[in-house]
Amino acid sequence: MPAKRVVIGTAGHIDHGKTALVRLLTGIDTDRLKEEKERGISIDLGFAHLTLPSGVRAGIVDVPGHERFVRNMLAGACGIDLVLFVIAADEGVMPQTTEHLNIVDVLRVHGGVVALTKADLVDEAWLELVRADVAGAMEGTVLEGAPIVPVSAVTGQGKDALLAALDGAVSRIPERVRADFARLPVDRVFTVEGFGTVVTGTLWNGRLKVGDSLVVLPGEKSVRVRNVQVFGKDVGEAVPGERVALALHGVSREDIRRGDWLFTPDAAGPSSMVDVRFELLKGAPRSLRTRARIRFHLGASEVIGRAHLLDREELRPGESALAQLRLESPAVALQGDRFVVRSYSPQITIGGGSVLVAHAVKHRKKDTDVVQTLSLVEKGSPRDRVAQAVRAAGGKGLAAADVAREAGMPDAESAVAVSALLAEGIVFRVGHALLHAEHLKKVADDLARSLGDYQVKYPLRWGMTKGELRNRFAGTPQEVFAAAVDSLARAGRLFIKEDRYRIDSPDVTLSPEETRLKERIEAGFLKAGLNVPYAKDLAVGVPEDKVNDVVQTLVEEGKLAKITTELFFHVDTMHEAESLVRKMLSNNGKFQVSEFKEAAKTSRKYAVPLLEYFDRKGVTRRQGDVRVAGGK
Ligand SMILES: Nc1nc2c(ncn2[C@@H]2O[C@H](COP(=O)(O)OP(=O)(O)OP(=O)(O)O)[C@@H](O)[C@H]2O)c(=O)[nH]1
Ligand SMILES: [Mg+2]
């Protein structure tokens, strides 16, 4: 078993001793900036690392507590596994204590430990009061019940208890199923002599090694990994949950900034509209009206947009709703991501939630279908979510390779869901894509309607030719078309005869008038014998199209024989002619066209094509200017 990797983030009000505590635990001073040293406060993120008593290697992200730097705090808090929540024992709960607590709660950080710092400044009785107060503040949050450990960065008191508590919290982190592709939110960019552009971040999922191709999102610039470091040391491969520094080829310092993402190519794309579940904090100062301007924080990025509430006009503090966030510049989100929302002005944390659809289409107001669909995405099992992703992809289907990504789950999990859905007939495999039964049904319904309309228009024809139907659905991918035809056939609705399709009944049904016309034409042919008429002459006044259809029907029914494209004989007449030919052959072994013409009492105009027809059938064979037996 490889050693577990975790990233621990600090949180807490300004001056409560976060940086001092990290220094106590790791020996590393995370306040690197000159201004930080001068002012004695943290401004930007600081990074350190330590090995816990259990051997677990932990990356540490130290965040600033100042209310003006919450944006930096958010960039650090994304992707942490645990929080080291710092509250100074002498001050207790302060404004950014609450704001940071809201943030880690909305992000659903997997728990953590509360450090009551500056324990050296207070007495035992006070400490107990603060402890009780803090425990109350944590109620109903991800830190409810978390260990509360008094410590002092000055005396070192409580250090071992804190480390032990962190180890305990590490052991309680649920095992995460991570996607295979690489995903890293960039939280720092700088240049290093000899290495060029270097970025750092927590590797959310996937593995990274030298030579890997990546894409910078949302800008979509391609880069290659030149060097990988973890905790200041070159490594062969970085694994999920590690703090990583990457030297990159193909990008300059100016082309990449905090808030950007590094992804395996094709694993994600920029998006300007996301459908979400949005929760307004209980402590939010006011209700949120639909279309309110907000700041959307995901990963290390901040994007401004508007929150369109999908199922109401106004959201009250403590409530949650389905919403569509329309962003002013592209973000990068995947289904299931947690995010934080701050109000546009004043800049305070008001809520957050989870991404339901990363690439959304604009919804009409109060579209109940959308609300239903999103509820399914939200509450659904992996199977429901895969089905929903395939459904959302529409009539062209969803490439099987993209299913896991669209449904927001690892490949292995989506594969299980896909096989269940295939077995249940809820999705269909068409080539390399998956198509939802609903879309297949729609194509099948369209095909059926097209065939039905055709049969109404041409009641005498046995359906439409395959070629014509395909032409009418030229915009439908061949595989989808074939699957739809197949589904109609399996449902017993589609009938196929030679090159034709017919819907709903295998037989042509004629009106009494059409039946009479057919009988009249058949009788006409029978009566004419070998001196056949033009069909149209047998049905004067009837449109030629219709007459041709009747003739075609009679051919299909085996009543007329088609000798050439224009010449038809009644099959009874053909039997007589064939008997005559066979008799002449058995009498003399051969005969000439003129002999046949006389015996059959017909003209050369019919005799020649008739004999050629018998040649084709093998009844006769031409030998110079005579016919001999053909062998059949
Ligand atoms: N007595 C005492 N002082 C402490 C302790 N921890 C921190 N301090 C002092 O508190 C002040 C602020 O400590 P920092 O560690 O910079 O606080 P911070 O939470 O990182 O502050 P920001 O990053 O600006 O939010 C410093 O002057 C520290 O020396 C402690 O355990 N005991
Ligand atoms: Mg600090």
Ligand 1, from 10, 13, 14, 15: best to mutate by most atoms within 8 Å of Cβ?
Answer: 15
| Residue 66 Cβ < 6 Å to ligand 1 | yes
How far is the CA of 209 from the CAs of 178, 228, 231, 244, in angstroms? 18, 6, 15, 11
Ligand 1, from 10, 13, 19, 122: best to mutate by most atoms within 8 Å of Cβ?
Answer: 19
Q: Take atom 7 of ligand 1 and give the residue whose Cα is closest.
A: 17
Ligand 1 atom nearest the C-alpha of 152 is 31
Q: How much is the pLDDT for 167? A: 96
Residues 8 and 104 sit within 8 Å (Cβ to Cβ): no
Q: How much is the pLDDT for 618? A: 92
Q: How much is the pLDDT for 364? A: 74
Nearest CA to 405 out of 347, 475, 332 is that of 332
Q: How much is the pLDDT for 549? A: 86
pLDDT tens track for 151-201 = 999 999 999 999 999 999 999 987 766 777 899 999 999 998 888 899 999
- Residue recorded with tokens 């589904």: 487
| Residue 42 Cβ < 6 Å to ligand 1 | yes
Q: How much is the pLDDT for 478? A: 87
Spell out the alpha helix ranges (H) of 557-626.
Answer: 571-588, 593-599, 604-617
Residues 339 and 354 sit within 8 Å (Cβ to Cβ): yes
Give the three-state DSSP class for 192: strand
Ligand 1 atom nearest the C-alpha of 119 is 31
Nearest CA to 387 out of 357, 416, 417 is that of 417
Partners of 185 in the β-ladder: 261
| Residue 152 Cβ < 6 Å to ligand 1 | yes
φ, ψ for residue 610 (rounded to 5)? -60, -45
Nearest CA to 383 out of 359, 405, 413, 344 is that of 413
CB neighbours of 391 closer than 8 A, spacing ≥ 6?
436, 438, 439
Global confidence as pTM: 0.70
Q: How much is the pLDDT for 542? A: 84
Residues 356 and 378 sit within 8 Å (Cβ to Cβ): yes
Ligand 1, from 18, 60, 87, 100: best to mutate by most atoms within 8 Å of Cβ?
Answer: 18
**Tally of CB atoms within 10 A around 329:** 12
Q: How much is the pLDDT for 2? A: 54
| Residue 359 Cβ < 6 Å to ligand 1 | no
Cα 374 to ligand 2 centroid, rounded to whole Å: 41
Rounded to 5°, the CA angle 371-374-380 comes to: 130
Nearest CA to 593 out of 582, 578, 609, 579 is that of 609
CB neighbours of 219 closer than 8 A, spacing ≥ 6?
255, 256, 260
Residues 503 and 488 sit within 8 Å (Cβ to Cβ): yes
Q: Take atom 3 of ligand 1 and give the residue whose Cα is closest.
A: 118
| Residue 43 Cβ < 6 Å to ligand 1 | no
**Tally of CB atoms within 10 A around 229:** 17
* Type of residue found at 358: A
Ligand found nearest the CA of 156: 1
Angle between helices 382-392 and 411-424 (to 10 degrees): 80
Q: Take atom 9 of ligand 1 and give the residue whose Cα is closest.
A: 17
E-strand stretches of 89-187: 112-117, 148-150, 183-185
Cα 159 to ligand 2 centroid, rounded to whole Å: 18
Ligand found nearest the CA of 15: 1
**Tally of CB atoms within 10 A around 405:** 24
Q: Which two tokens stand for residue 340?
A: 């934080």
Q: Which two tokens stand for residue 155?
A: 């005396």
Q: How much is the pLDDT for 558? A: 86
Report which secondary-structure segment, H or E, holds 342: strand 338-343
CA 87 centroid distance within chain: 43
- Residue recorded with tokens 């704001």: 99
Q: Take atom 30 of ligand 1 and give the residue whose Cα is closest.
A: 118
Cα 153 to ligand 1 centroid, rounded to whole Å: 8
Cα 418 to ligand 1 centroid, rounded to whole Å: 53
Q: Which two tokens stand for residue 438?
A: 């609903």
Q: How much is the pLDDT for 1? A: 45
Ligand found nearest the CA of 30: 2
Stretches in the chain below the pLDDT threshold 50: 1
| Residue 371 Cβ < 6 Å to ligand 1 | no
Q: How much is the pLDDT for 337? A: 92
**Tally of CB atoms within 10 A around 263:** 22
Cα 9 to ligand 2 centroid, rounded to whole Å: 12
d(CA 516, CA 618): 36
| Residue 14 Cβ < 6 Å to ligand 1 | yes
| Residue 121 Cβ < 6 Å to ligand 1 | yes
Cα 117 to ligand 1 centroid, rounded to whole Å: 8
DSSP 8-state class, residue 208 = B
| Residue 18 Cβ < 6 Å to ligand 1 | yes
Dihedral, CA atoms, 534, 537, 538, 542, nearest 10 degrees?
Answer: 120
Instruction: Give the CA count within 13 Å in the CB-facing half-sphere of 46.
Output: 26
Cα 22 to ligand 2 centroid, rounded to whole Å: 9
